[in-house]
Structure 1
Amino acid sequence: MTKSSVSPQEGKGPLSPSYESYEDIKQLKESQVNEIAEDPMKLNDAHDEWIKETIALAIQKVESERGPSPAHFAFFLMGSAGRKEQATFSDQDHGIVFDGSDEEHQSYFLKVGEEIREGMAHVGYPRCEGKVMASHPRWCHSIDGWKEQIDGWIETDTWETLRHLLTFVDARTLVGETEFLEEIKNHVFQKAQENPSLLKRMSENTSYLHKGVNAFGRLLPEDKGAYTGSMHIKDVGFFPYVHAMRLLAIKESIQEAGTASRMDQTSEKYPFVQGKKDHFNHMLDLRASFSKKQKTYDDVHYVPIEELDKDEKQQLKKALKEGKNLFQQTKKHMESGDQ
């Protein structure tokens, strides 16, 4: 294996593969992950590099079989990867946007998406069970194709289509033309401005919150199954923050996908956002502190409550309370239609 030479700058290319096989990248990932697992920022930067290496090799493989790329494109990440909030284990959520038209180029880029999907699976990123991957026609379009699909999602206005839209808003370009994704996000923002009820419908789509603390102020871990005594920190802890800040990002036309960065850009205008970033980052650090005990993708979603000391439990309770408050205030704001 050779040392990685891929530029860490997001959205830039082209990429030249530094490794001869996906197995080489997998070994690189496995050799590095434990050294940085307890530092969420370093870990997410490393995920970007491992995925970039995988993409570079995947593109080389497709070009060797089907010729060079027929158009400029961008490969983007969504979900926790899009927000740079991944843990040690992370599944795949990604898409492609390209220049030209679907009729001309979609089949080529679907092949690119398939190769990336299989390469990432080999490297250690499980395939998304919901097929939110660039290998699926829903997540691989031209710029105009993406705009048409988004218009269709909004017009259809079902729980599922709005969920697709919310998923897309957390996209972040990893490789390629950053302006392609920015243009499509701006299309979403424009539609939200033209249709004030859209944000309200989106807030309803994410209105259910998992309860983390009971009426007596006690934390509520799982009471049965393999994770008895542990709390699903993603559902209970992270999601209220993630959902709230995504809605505010749409309302304020913020391109940034990261939850903490969205807080930085909205806290001045929305007082109920102020002070929430520290609580969110605390939970990311708390999850990371158990990284050495996390052996599977499912493990990273849970924090063993019985292993927390008194102060840690109090900090977690506070973070859960602040997240709930943030989401409730955001939802109230969306429903009121205030500017």
Structure 2
Amino acid sequence: MHNPQREKRLLDIASAEELGQLRFIRETEQDQLATELSTSPIDEVVERLNALHDSLITQALKLAEADMARLGHGAPPVPYTYMLYGSGGRFEQTMCSDQDSGLVYANASDEQEDERCRSFFPKFTETVVQYLIKLGYPPCEGKVIASNPEWCLSLKGWEGKINSWFTEPSWENVRYLLIAADGRPIAGSLELAGRLQEYFFNDLIENPVIAQRMIENTIRYKVLVGVFGQLLTEQYGENAGSLDIKYGAYIPMVNAFRLLAVQAGIRETSTLKRIEALHSASLLTREEADEASEAFIFFLKMRMLTIVTDDKGQWVGTGKISREQLTKEIRLPLKKALKAGRKIQLRVQRELQHRFGGRWRQ
């Protein structure tokens, strides 16, 4: 659909030559989107918000490349791809998402080119990360970020890294594999991203034992609804009466559908697209897919309600729906959505028992 206002915004971002301009556009657009949360379909708001983030990050990369050249570091010596992980990789960022990123660059043709790559890309990724901090994107607390040498590698380096994660399926390595499953390219060579994804899925197929570790990681967070349909809210402390929508609703569904999609060889990264792809692969009925999508879209809306502005006017996320927000109008659809989330999580647990035996706590 033709949207002149949206097209103008994207043109303004693409022509911005200063970080201050980009920061202003981000704040203005997010304020506008916040006013539409109660009047527009939440999936449309999330789509527009993530398109905004993509455009801002892409332009920050262009500015960083230009500044690297201006400072005498030259152009990238080989093609590269800047990757987003986490909610960015899934097209599910909020107003206050942090940086979850990585970079893959083409293998050097000789030692001289390899040396240039080792000199250029660490400086480049550090520049990009600092620019994005100035735009209001804080660095990932878990250090899954392109400026971390562990997440800025050649294609060959990435293949070795992925292979080491599969070879030693510790809790931490499995967590990295699940993070990698959400990765998508935002700028640069799509061919590199495709080759990296191909290597990931080929390794997965050849290492079936990794599935058990992935399932164990996936069911770590429980959906916060009791066996009788009651909400499992915080009982004590300053958050008493609140419900952790991030880790008690949103993340369990993200984890469950990621696992089902990865096991089926589905390469979509968006949770909603994974649900639809699972239906297309006859792994979910139309009714199951519709129920799951409806629940997940509701969780996206609830997650947006946990975003507030601090005393400096910055967007911050609590991840929790407060006692005051849990009105009767919200409780009824929330219980319905949580029951749907619990159903899919139990399905993953049954899959675990079927494949590997044993009994697993629900």
Asked if Structure 1 and Structure 2 have the same fold, meaning a TM-score greater than 0.5 normalized by the shorter chain, the answer is yes
The residue number in structure 2 matching 1:12 is: none
Tell me, what secondary structure is at the counterpart of 2:256?
helix
The residue number in structure 2 matching 1:316 is: 334
Query: How do 1:83-232 and structure 2 match up within 5 A?
Result: 83-101=90-108, 103-104=114-115, 105-232=117-244
Once residues 290 and 148 of structure 1 are traced to their aligned partners in structure 2, the CA distance between those partners, rounded to angstroms, is: 39
Tell me, what secondary structure is at the counterpart of 2:324?
helix
Deviation at 1:302, TM superposition (A): 2.1
How high is the sequence identity, in percent, across the aligned residues? Answer: 31
Greater RCO (Cα-Cα under 8 Å, separation 6 or more) = 1
Q: Which entry has the higher C-alpha Rg, 1 or 2?
A: 2
CA contact 2:166–2:207 (8 Å) conserved in 1: no
Once residues 157 and 289 of structure 1 are traced to their aligned partners in structure 2, the CA distance between those partners, rounded to angstroms, is: 36
Deviation at 1:193, TM superposition (A): 1.3
Q: Do residues 20 (structure 1) and 32 (structure 2) align? A: no
Q: Do residues 234 (structure 1) and 246 (structure 2) align? A: yes
Once residues 292 and 137 of structure 1 are traced to their aligned partners in structure 2, the CA distance between those partners, rounded to angstroms, is: 33
Q: Cα–Cα, structure 1 residues 277 and 21, in superposed 2: closer, same or farther, change >3 Å?
A: same
Q: Cα–Cα, structure 1 residues 164 and 247, in superposed 2: closer, same or farther, change >3 Å?
A: same
Q: Cα–Cα, structure 1 residues 88 and 155, in superposed 2: closer, same or farther, change >3 Å?
A: same
The residue number in structure 2 matching 1:45 is: 51
Deviation at 1:114, TM superposition (A): 0.6
Q: Do residues 302 (structure 1) and 299 (structure 2) align? A: no
Deviation at 1:284, TM superposition (A): 0.8
Once residues 51 and 234 of structure 2 are traced to their aligned partners in structure 1, the CA distance between those partners, rounded to angstroms, is: 31
The residue number in structure 2 matching 1:11 is: none
Q: Choose the corresponding residue for 2:60, options 49, 54, 57.
A: 54
Number of residue pairs aligned between Structure 1 and Structure 2: 328
Deviation at 1:255, TM superposition (A): 2.1
Once residues 290 and 151 of structure 1 are traced to their aligned partners in structure 2, the CA distance between those partners, rounded to angstroms, is: 38
Q: TM-score, normalised by structure 1?
A: 0.88
Deviates more, 1:182-191 or 1:212-221: 212-221
Tell me, what secondary structure is at the counterpart of 2:157?
helix
Deviates more, 1:321-330 or 1:286-295: 286-295
The residue number in structure 2 matching 1:286 is: 302
Deviation at 1:63, TM superposition (A): 2.4
Q: Cα–Cα, structure 1 residues 220 and 114, in superposed 2: closer, same or farther, change >3 Å?
A: same
Once residues 184 and 169 of structure 1 are traced to their aligned partners in structure 2, the CA distance between those partners, rounded to angstroms, is: 11
Deviates more, 1:182-191 or 1:79-88: 182-191
Deviation at 1:287, TM superposition (A): 2.9
Tell me, what secondary structure is at the counterpart of 1:306?
coil
| 5+ residue gaps, structure 2 | 1-7, 38-44, 357-362
Tell me, what secondary structure is at the counterpart of 1:270?
coil
Q: TM-score, normalised by structure 2?
A: 0.83
Deviation at 1:216, TM superposition (A): 4.7
